Amino acid sequence: MRKSYTQKRGASEMKKDIDWKNVGFSYLQTDKRYVSNYKDGAWDEGELTSDSNVVLNECACVLQYCQECFEGLKAYTTKDGKIVTFRPELNAARMMDSAERLYMPQFPKERFIDALDQLVKANVDYVPPYGSGATLYIRPYMFGSNPVIGVKPATEFQFRMFCTPVGPYYKGGINPLSICVSDFDRAAPHGTGNVKAGLNYAMSLYAVMDAHNRGFDENMYLDAATRTKVEESGGANFIFVTKDDKVITPKSDSILPSVTRRSIMHVAKEYLGLEVEEREVYLDEVKDFAECGMCGTAAVISPIGKIDDHGKEILFPSGMDHMGPVIQKLYDTLTGIQMGEIKSPEGWIHVIE
């Protein structure tokens, strides 16, 4: 049996001097990042670099027309001391889909995984220890890099991947959130809602700050065509639990296909024996659900205790004090798989060798 990269290094090598229990969800520069450039129809070999700065022409396409996409995933230290990532092939595939939709060259899946391995190995001392509650957040991204003044795609691109240790996404820990139904649209029908493009997040910034200023943690976006169906929040998919413990998630062509949400639905069915359903979810039925949560890479699952629909409050039986019982089981099982405490499905855990 091959030893993991962590085991090869030996127990004597120490982590960085970081207060892991109090790491926030913010950027901390690490030693290395991966860079590859696309020019004349091909990607170069790529390399690790110590330089964290991106130098661009003032007329670079990404600055003028936001031709950019990105991903987010994490590396963990498992219970047995291995360093692993969770289903990275799905992030690689989704980034290829995003690139195709934005008329960018696809960065091949096998090269994505190789870059990931190189990056984590080069920054292994920044991977938080098991049990600390922190993880190593990994951000792959790609952008049009050559000057473009007319409205057209770039011809040169840069793929980069950096990492940073992070703590919980929400400062207060895993406490139920209060959200509001937004009057803004997140994505248009047949638009870019189903790809991970920076432009989708740029348009959400005003809306989320408006929600914060009104005392809410996040927004619930409805479909732009009819404004009757639940889509997602600014950065996470929704999951709902019925009073008879069925797990439901909204279905829409303009929802980002979350790796975490897909994993949660598998866990619900195959590990917990629950009935699951992906379907259109109407706002007027949300009041009948027992539990609600938002799921994504950053926070895994964030429970929701209250939704404000223009002054009309939807209060879930699970309350504002703690996770509901089903969402708690989903969270515990998925994080247990990620941390090596529970046996994972075949192919879900990628060990850094």
Query: Rounded to whole angstroms, how far apart are CA atoms 88 and 91?
Result: 5
Please enumerate in sequence order all residues whose Cβ is within 8 A of that of 32, keeping only pairs 6 or more positions apart, or say none.
Answer: 48, 49, 50, 119, 122, 123
| Whole-Å CA distances, 331 to 100, 262, 281, 306, 325 | 33, 13, 22, 19, 10
Contact 36/115 with Cβ under 8 angstroms?
Answer: yes
Show the tokens assigned to 167. Answer: 């703590």
List residues bridging with 76 in a β-sheet. Answer: 84
What SS3 class is residue 208? helix
| Residue 149 neighbours by CB distance under 10 Å | 9
196 is catalytic: yes
Contact 238/294 with Cβ under 8 angstroms?
Answer: yes
| Candidate list 74, 196, 229, 306, residue with the active-site label | 196
The b/e string for 94-118 (b: 16+ C-beta within 10 A; e otherwise) is: bbbebbeebebbbbebebbbebbbb
Show the tokens assigned to 85. Answer: 């990532």
Closest CA to 317 of 303, 331, 329: 303
> Which secondary-structure segment (H or E) carries 178?
strand 177-181
Active site residues: 196
